[in-house]
């Protein structure tokens, strides 16, 4: 028997009207955020959040000094600036932290929010007819490998490139390697299902033969 091979497609388990990594539409990353520009989106939110906090930290002493000096003519725009920098900086950095978690888990927003089980097809040979379908609950991370592999799949394998908006991550965005643990577990479950089905068929045949009344002349 050939080695069973589950279909390693992230969209095979969830039939939704989305493309892989179809998350949100942002004009500043050239449209819908997908596998090809997820790195650029992550860098954009990271640097935007850091910039917002930098503005907050550098303007706060000036505003405090201005409020303490009653003779100073403090422009209200400074207060507006520091409030916006604080809110915008922490909000965007929090958003970046969420996507950092997704990257390290090799998970998309859709997969994180999914509450339906995955149906994984396991082929036992190349005929296309010899297969089993294994159901996996959504809390199992099917594509979670090591954090380094997950990070490089989005950010690339160049340390310098991690901080620059050039070149996307590894892979083609359509087929992703399974977690080794989940791969072996899925294959074993498929084999157990097949063995159970063969055993049930044998028991039905045996029961049918035993219930047959022999005809004697």
At 91-125, the pLDDT tens digits run: 999 999 999 999 998 888 888 887 888 888 888 88
25 Cβ neighbours under 8 A, 6+ residues apart: 31, 32, 33
Tokens of 167: 């070149």
pLDDT beyond 80 at 164: yes
- Tell me the C-alpha distance between 161 and 52, whole Å: 23
DSSP single-letter state for residue 85: H
Q: From the centroid of its chain, how far is CA 10?
A: 9
CB 132 within 8 A of CB 124: yes
Residue 151: its pLDDT value, please? 92
200 pLDDT tier (thresholds 50, 70, 90): low
Q: pTM score, two decimals?
A: 0.69
């Amino acid at each position: 028997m050939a080695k069973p091979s589950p279909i390693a497609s992230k969209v095979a388990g969830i039939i939704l009207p989305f493309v892989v990594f179809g998350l949100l539409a942002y004009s500043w990353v050239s449209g819908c955020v997908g596998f090809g520009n997820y790195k650029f989106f992550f860098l954009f939110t990271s640097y935007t959040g850091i910039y917002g906090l930098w503005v907050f930290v550098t303007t706060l002493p000036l505003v405090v000094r201005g409020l303490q000096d009653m003779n100073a003519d403090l422009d209200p725009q400074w207060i507006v600036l520091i409030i916006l920098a604080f809110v915008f900086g922490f909000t965007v950095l929090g958003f970046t932290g969420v996507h950092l978690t997704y990257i390290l888990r090799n998970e998309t927003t859709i997969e994180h929010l999914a509450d339906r089980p995955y149906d994984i097809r396991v082929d036992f040979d190349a005929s296309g007819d010899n297969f089993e379908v294994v159901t996996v609950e959504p809390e199992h991370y099917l594509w979670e490998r090591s954090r380094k592999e997950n990070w490089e799949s989005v950010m690339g394998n160049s340390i310098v490139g991690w901080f620059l908006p050039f070149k996307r991550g590894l892979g083609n965005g359509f087929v992703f390697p399974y977690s080794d643990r989940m791969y072996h577990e899925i294959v074993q479950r498929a084999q157990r299902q097949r063995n159970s089905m063969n055993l049930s068929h044998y028991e039905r045949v045996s029961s049918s033969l035993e219930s047959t009344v022999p005809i004697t002349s």
